[in-house]
Amino acid sequence: MDNLVDSFVPKEFMGEIIAIVNQKGGTGKTTTSVNLSSALARQGKDVVVIDFDPQANLTYAFGIEENEGTIADVLREQNSLSDVLLEREGARVAPGDIALADVEVSLINEIGREFFLSEAIKGLNGYDYLIIDCPPSLSLLAINALVAADYSIVPMQMEVMSLQGLNQIRNTIERINRSYKLDIYIKGILAVMVDRRRNLDSEIEDFIQNNYEIPLFSSKIRTNVRASEAPSFGQSVISYAPRSNSAIDYMEFARELMNNEP
Ligand SMILES: Nc1ncnc2c1ncn2[C@@H]1O[C@H](COP(=O)(O)OP(=O)(O)O)[C@@H](O)[C@H]1O
Ligand SMILES: [Mg+2]
């Protein structure tokens, strides 16, 4: 029999919070955040996505130039999360901006400095997925994102160098879990910018599957020039070039996630 208590929990409390994390830059975090959000929204899900990188690439990629407020204001408690959300491609986007870097510095001496994003998210409900595009670091902002999340997804190119960072992410998450009695985990590695013609890709895939206890999503995102063009048009690649490989791959990845694999 189903847990009776669970069956009475209203929908608004059942969303999944996902941190898209990798401390290296250029590993496809923002591209994944934009396109996963768009793909999930297209499949009828209620999606919120937060630009949590001071470089604000996600904000740009969604064509947001002017906004009433950003996630930096929310952390400074000058605005609520629901007040800064803008609709793009059926998803609700919390813009970021460079002020996030100053906020990070100012948080360092605050009590509960790791929990500012969690607190901000608590006031929001009615989403199926809340996606956080993390900065390229494991600094206080990234830790805020991980602490707020139910799980993380690590987009990665299938290269030897990428593996070195994997242990670091895993150790950071373990440390957070131990310190704060949380249960965050890496749901999976998403292979991005994959070139199926290269053998190295599948060798690294095998290596990850044999040596890390982290699953690899069966969906993979192929390299496609459309994916790199789309941000200048303020669109996901799914809107900009729906028939491109990366658009097809991100739609498939969204379905895999919705089916709760791996
Ligand atoms: N599937 C892809 N095909 C081609 N270019 C891609 C793909 N995914 C990402 N890129 C490009 O790679 C660069 C880094 O991606 P980005 O998502 O910004 O990484 P991060 O957010 O981790 O720094 C960007 O220029 C982006 O357009
Ligand atoms: Mg980025």
pLDDT band at 162 (very low <50, low <70, confident <90, very high): confident
- Is 193 a pocket residue for ligand 1 (Cβ < 6 Å)? yes
Under CATH, which number does the domain 11-255 receive?
3.40.50.300
pLDDT > 60? residue 3: no
Range scoring the smallest mean pLDDT among 3-12, 66-75, 113-122: 3-12
pLDDT band at 14 (very low <50, low <70, confident <90, very high): low
pLDDT band at 108 (very low <50, low <70, confident <90, very high): very high
How many residues does the structure list for the chain? 262
pLDDT band at 11 (very low <50, low <70, confident <90, very high): very low
pLDDT > 50? residue 2: no
Ligand index nearest the alpha carbon of residue 35 = 1
**Residue pointed to by tokens 């053998």:** 199
| pLDDT tens-digit series, residues 193-213 | 998 767 777 788 888 888 888
- Is 37 a pocket residue for ligand 1 (Cβ < 6 Å)? no
* 230 Cα nearest atom in ligand 1: 27
Cβ neighbours of residue 192 under 8 Å, at least 6 residues apart?
27, 28, 31, 32, 155, 156, 157, 220, 221
| pLDDT tens-digit series, residues 38-53 | 999 999 999 999 999 9
Q: What is the CA radius of gyration of the chain?
A: 18
Helices 160-180 & 199-211 angle (0-180, nearest 10): 30
- Is 137 a pocket residue for ligand 1 (Cβ < 6 Å)? no
Residue nearest to atom 10 of ligand 1 (CA): 228
